[in-house]
Amino acid sequence: MPHEVKSALGMLQEELKKYEADVRWVEPNNIHLTFKFLGNVAEKEVSGIINVMREICKKHEPFNLRIVGVGIFPNTQSPRVIWAGVEYNTTLEGLKTHIENEMMKIGFQQEERRFTPHLTLGRFRSPTMRGDLSEIIKSHKDDIFGIAWVRSISLIRSELSPSGPRYSKIAEVFLSS
């Protein structure tokens, strides 16, 4: 995500923190869009994944995404994730579908849930929502946080720790231009 988007989302997080809900906030620099969660991957599978990524990227051009709105998954009665939305985009949907199909060909399970592009801002540790957090989130449902120019996809390693996940980029492959 571009610095401007991360900065706007960081300011929103600071506003939401005032409500003291039991949320583990994602560091603004770690905010990202996940196309496909692969789970535990053996080291010997990595080169095959990168090769598939290269083939996918040859067939897709860079595109823009508009980051807009805020919400809670699955709902305010059972809050688990606070997210910023990614406006529907046929180019994004096509890239996601291509990634899903190609990853299935090399042995990864198809995602059963419908793709709902979003940027995770925080995860609830408990369902406690303090004050009017759900109301303030609703008040931001149409906010525009910026535009992201998507020019590459990356394979990211996520390592969980008590202080939150640590991400490291294994590979970045650029879309065709």
Which is the catalytic residue, given 32, 60, 98, 140? 32
User: In whole angstroms, how large is the CA radius of gyration of the chain?
Assistant: 17
Which residue in this structure is represented by tokens 């046929």? 90
**Within 10 A of 153 (CB to CB), how many other CB atoms are there?**
20
Can you tell me the distance from the alpha carbon of 43 to that of 157, in angstroms, rounded to the nearest whole number? 11
Note the residue count of the chain. 177
Tokens for 129?
């929502």
Sign of the alpha-carbon torsion through 174, 117, 96, 167: positive
Which is the catalytic residue, given 3, 60, 118, 140? 118
Which residue in this structure is represented by tokens 């005032």? 18
Provide φ and ψ at 92, rounded to 5°: -60, -45
For the question of residue 118 being annotated catalytic, the response is yes
**Within 10 A of 6 (CB to CB), how many other CB atoms are there?**
21
For the question of residue 3 being annotated catalytic, the response is no
Catalytic residues: 32, 118
